[in-house]
């Protein structure tokens, strides 16, 4: 079988991936961007992005990603809807299997991002899309949630953002956090806590999501972590916003990672395998911002270009 040979394959199509594509495209490398199951990445599921420089009024997350893609495509980047199932980084050119088809690449930029972390409860899994969701902007407007009490779990910027968004639909939004102070940035925390429809529930975790027997969310059983007291809060929806896990399963045992699965770059964006670079949330447990992902995508693009130039003398 003839295997298609690429200069640079970029795995992932979020801010990091498309910025790496922009830089490698402008270096005439015609990068191929494999979009993954969620083209545009997690940012496409947010509403307005207020902290990406250059957009004083904010910009819709989906629109930002469409613009990044257009900008990279203008210089010759190509997008392919597909998921990488396997990689072989043991020899040059590197091998990839994309939806069953083989592909070869001289350089790879990993920009696979991160996915929503789960609570790990039985009811969470069984009631997913039956009241349990990980994305208020995707699901918040569903009739199921209209004028109903809703629960958001988490204390970070995402939880605050989800809770604020849900005040448009729910009758009341309980913000359930395991500590007594939010992790969110001051501006987001202040906005959330001053919104009358948002009721914080401190020092509490969700012990159970009800009701698997009825095959829909009817409430949550909460446990106060300080007193161990339990209570039931009725609600029609549970929005889980407790952070993310890096999408790096594919590279386990091959690329150096920390204990949480974040890829550890050796120098700049270079990994322990020469010719394989990493950018964005899959390698960043500290900042995890759209602009830092874009910055790292730029660095990975430049480093991939230099690597290929050195190989070809």
298 is catalytic: no
282 is catalytic: no
96-105 LR contacts (CB < 8 Å, sep 24+): 96/9, 96/11, 96/34, 98/34, 102/1, 102/3, 102/4, 103/3, 103/4, 103/6, 103/9, 103/32, 104/3, 104/4, 104/5, 104/6, 105/5, 105/6, 105/7, 105/8, 105/9, 105/32
Complex with ligand NAP: residue 178 or 216, whichever CB lies closer: 178
Q: Minimal distance in Å, beta carbon 199 to ligand NAP?
A: 17
Judge whether 182 and 189 are in contact, CB under 8 Å. yes
Q: Is 14 in the site for ligand NAP (CB under 6 A)?
A: no
Binding mask of the shown chain, residues 281 to 300, with x at each position contacting ligand NAP by CB under 6 A: -------x------------
Complex with ligand NAP: residue 9 or 175, whichever CB lies closer: 175
Q: Which residue is nearest to ligand NAP (CB)?
A: 156
Angstrom distances, CA of residue 249 to CA of 177, 263, 286: 28, 10, 20
Q: Minimal distance in Å, beta carbon 178 to ligand NAP?
A: 5
Would you mind telling me the total number of residues written for the chain in this entry?
313
Among 183, 199, 221, 223, binds ligand NAP (CB under 6 A): 183
Q: Which of 88, 99, 138, 258 is the catalytic position? A: 138
Binding mask of the shown chain, residues 116 to 155, with x at each position contacting ligand NAP by CB under 6 A: -x-x---------------------------------xxx
Judge whether 256 and 272 are in contact, CB under 8 Å. yes
Q: For binding to ligand NAP (CB under 6 A), which residues are involved?
A: 51, 117, 119, 153-159, 161, 178-179, 183, 185, 188, 205, 241-244, 288
């Amino acid at each position: 079988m003839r295997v298609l040979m690429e200069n640079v394959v970029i795995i992932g199509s979020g801010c990091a991936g498309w910025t790496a594509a922009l830089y490698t495209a402008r270096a005439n490398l015609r990068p191929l961007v494999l979009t993954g199951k969620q083209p545009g990445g997690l940012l496409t599921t947010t509403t307005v992005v207020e902290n990406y420089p250059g957009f004083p009024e904010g910009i819709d997350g989906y629109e930002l990603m469409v613009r990044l893609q257009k900008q990279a495509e203008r210089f010759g980047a190509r997008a392919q809807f597909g998921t990488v199932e396997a990689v072989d980084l043991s020899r040059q050119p590197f091998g990839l299997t994309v939806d069953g088809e083989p592909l070869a690449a001289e350089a790879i930029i990993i920009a696979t991002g991160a996915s929503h972390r789960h609570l790990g409860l039985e009811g969470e899994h069984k009631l997913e899309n039956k009241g349990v969701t990980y994305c208020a902007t995707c699901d918040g407007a569903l009739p199921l949630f209209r004028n109903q009490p809703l629960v958001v779990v988490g204390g970070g910027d995402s939880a605050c953002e989800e809770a604020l968004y849900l005040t448009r639909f729910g009758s009341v939004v309980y913000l359930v956090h395991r500590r007594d102070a939010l992790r969110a940035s001051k501006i987001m925390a202040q906005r959330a806590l001053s919104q009358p429809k948002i009721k914080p529930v401190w020092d509490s975790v969700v012990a159970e999501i009800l009701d698997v027997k009825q095959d829909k969310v009817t409430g949550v059983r909460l446990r106060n972590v300080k007193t161990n007291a339990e209570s039931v809060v009725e609600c029609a929806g549970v929005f889980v916003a407790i952070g993310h896990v890096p999408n790096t399963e594919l590279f386990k045992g091959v690329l150096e990672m920390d204990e949480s699965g974040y890829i550890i770059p050796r120098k700049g964006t270079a990994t322990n395998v020469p010719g394989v670079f990493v950018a964005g949330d899959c390698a960043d447990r500290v900042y995890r911002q759209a602009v830092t992902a874009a910055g790292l995508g730029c660095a990975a693009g430049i480093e991939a270009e230099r690597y290929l130039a050195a190989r070809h003398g």
